Amino acid sequence: MAVRTTITRRITSSSSVLPGLRSMSSWWGNVNPAPKDPILGVTEAFLADPSPDKVNVGVGAYRDDNGKPVVLDCVREAEKRIAGNMNMEYLPMGGSNKMVEETLKLAYGENSDLIKDKRIAAIQALSGTGACRIFADFQKRFSPDSQIYIPVPTWSNHHNIWRDANVPQRTYHYYHPESKGLDFASLMDDVKNAPNGSFFLLHACAHNPTGVDPTIEQWKEISYQFKVKGHFAFFDMAYQGFASGDPERDAKSIRIFLEDGHLIGCSQSYAKNMGLYGQRVGCLSLVCEDEKQAVAVKSQLQQLARPMYSNPPVHGALIVSTILGDPELKQLWLKEVKGMADRIIGMRTSLRENIEKMGSPLSWEHITNQIGMFCYSGMTPEQVDRLTKEFHIYMTRNGRISMAGVTSGNVEYLAKAIHEVTKTA
């Protein structure tokens, strides 16, 4: 006993660590702080600013004309209906069958033959981010030598998702800085020059961050070239209904690919179009050759979800299925999502008109030509820094304006500030 006590005392009191032993204080000594998220960091800086004139046009969440968060009336009514009938049991690994069924109708069409023939493998996911991540893992597992082509620019988290799934990334041209529109010629060249059978990430509508979408005719050309090359199209659709106010119109890119016979993948989210940001409700779907293949693919998607989060949350899924499964509530949702889209479109018009009234020497047509929550303003990082320092206006340094943060109360102030920092450009 005396010998053991002596040895223990020597180990614990010695400043040196014996070979094979690690100091308990050094386990995480090699961990450095992670860089701040470029989007979330904007909100942190905004909240810390005491100025009464401060404006936040960086947040990617809808606000009303008073700058306040919104809970849709259809969501409030759905909450009432499910409140007395709440079930806290686990959902299956694939999530709510009812929610998935209604979600597929939005993407693929109410009377889709693909749905009728049970050719779509689909699971509930943790919003659009979770759907993209599960697909990235699925791609790595079942097409391990493949890579993913991602547009320049794109939502910054896309790069994180495929990176952490260990899928090699390539990029393709998308945005044209001079025209502040689509670089369609370069995009098509990249599609043609990519190896046959490549994976491409496409934004179905309201491209984030640019707000620049292909036209219907351009989508048809893209689909045709994908067919020629045998490429796989994975659509991230985070803004269906929120872009134009019409969910059918916003799904047109997907429908074009389906009409051409593509077996696509699709990520869907209800964060924006139902305002269910914190509920994390989404869906991942893959079109398959037949029902048998769809059953196999779904089983593998569920297996990927199992060690990641096991089961998706139930409450948000109940809200979505209640709204979409009731004709009256669905009509209310369609009215409300159009109202949100129309407000965004109206703010685009107002911002452009106010800047032009200042006598700006620049063209601001791109503000109204672009669509969706975000406007890619064309301002430089240095101009954005001036907006923040001199006018207390916060946005990401790539010049992306969240149009949801623009209101009738601040649009003139925002326009004056933008004119001030760009008039000598």
Give CA–CA dist 210/303, Å, rounded. Answer: 35
Strand 120-126 versus strand 181-182 pairing type: unpaired
Tell whether the torsion through CA atoms of 381, 383, 384 and 389 is positive or negative: positive
Instruction: Provide the 10 A C-beta neighbour count for residue 185.
Output: 10
Question: Which DSSP string do the residues of 236-261 spell out, in sequence order?
Answer: EES-TTTTTS-HHHHTHHHHHHHHTT
Q: Which residues lie below 8 Å from residue 275, measured CB to CB, with a gap of 6+?
A: 62, 69, 70, 71, 72, 75
Helix segments in 22-126, DSSP class H: 40-48, 73-83, 97-108, 113-116
The SS3 assignment for 282 reads: strand
Amino acid at 3: V
CA 358-362-367 angle, to 5 degrees, is 85
What CA–CA distances, in Å, run from 16 to 10, 13, 23, 26, 78? 10, 9, 9, 13, 63
Q: Which residues lie below 8 Å from residue 9, measured CB to CB, with a gap of 6+?
A: none
| Tokens describing residue 350 | 């107002």
Strand 232-237 versus strand 199-203 pairing type: parallel
Residue among 272, 298, 333, 364 flagged as catalytic: 272
Give CA–CA dist 329/78, Å, rounded. Answer: 8
Residue among 155, 162, 333, 364 flagged as catalytic: 155
Residue among 236, 250, 298, 364 flagged as catalytic: 236
What CA–CA distances, in Å, run from 244 to 11, 109, 286, 373, 403? 69, 17, 25, 10, 14
Known catalytic residue at 37: no
Give CA–CA dist 336/237, Å, rounded. Answer: 19
Q: How many angstroms from the chain centroid is the CA of residue 8?
A: 55
Give CA–CA dist 405/399, Å, rounded. Answer: 14
Find tokens 């990617």 and name the residue: 60
Report residue 94: phi and psi, to 5°. Answer: -85, -5
Amino acid at 208: N
Known catalytic residue at 27: no
Known catalytic residue at 272: yes
Give CA–CA dist 325/332, Å, rounded. Answer: 12
Residues with catalytic annotation?
A: 155, 236, 272
